[in-house]
Amino acid sequence: MNSKLEQMMNIKTTNTILYCRKWEETVAFYKTQIGLPVTTSCDWFVEFRLNETACLSIADEARTSIDSSAGKGITITLEVGDIKMAHLYLKEAGLNLAPIKDHAWGAKVIHIYDPEGNRLEFWSPNTELD
């Protein structure tokens, strides 16, 4: 059943914009280390594609009217198909990772931080039987 929001607005895509002081480092992190494809780019803004309907953008705080949150209060959660493969991919990308953790709500998770301090949570449902 569609919500009233879905019926009235028919939202097609979603994009989260992170305003960053460490803009160049943060763009490089998402482009090079995470390996997200770039959909739009200019000298102060880069949009990365997460999937068919979601994007993540990085904006240079110095060129906007919105300040960086410096990573405070932000977690970007990304459900992945296989947490073990995600862990291997991120490790091979050169990220220093802690082991995969069990989350209280029945998932396996990996937490990493971008150069601006924003937390990324990669997770997948815990399908292993204890």
CB contact burial 15-37 (16+ within 10 A = b; e otherwise): eeebbbebbeebbebbbeebebe
| Topology of the domain comprising 12-125 | 2,3-Dihydroxybiphenyl 1,2-Dioxygenase; domain 1 (3.10.180)
DSSP single-letter state for residue 42: -
| pLDDT band, residue 8 (cuts 50/70/90) | confident
pLDDT digits (tens, 9 = 90+) for 24-83: 999 999 999 999 999 999 999 999 999 999 999 999 999 999 999 999 999 999 999 999
For the chain, give every domain's residue range: 12-125
Q: What's the pTM?
A: 0.88
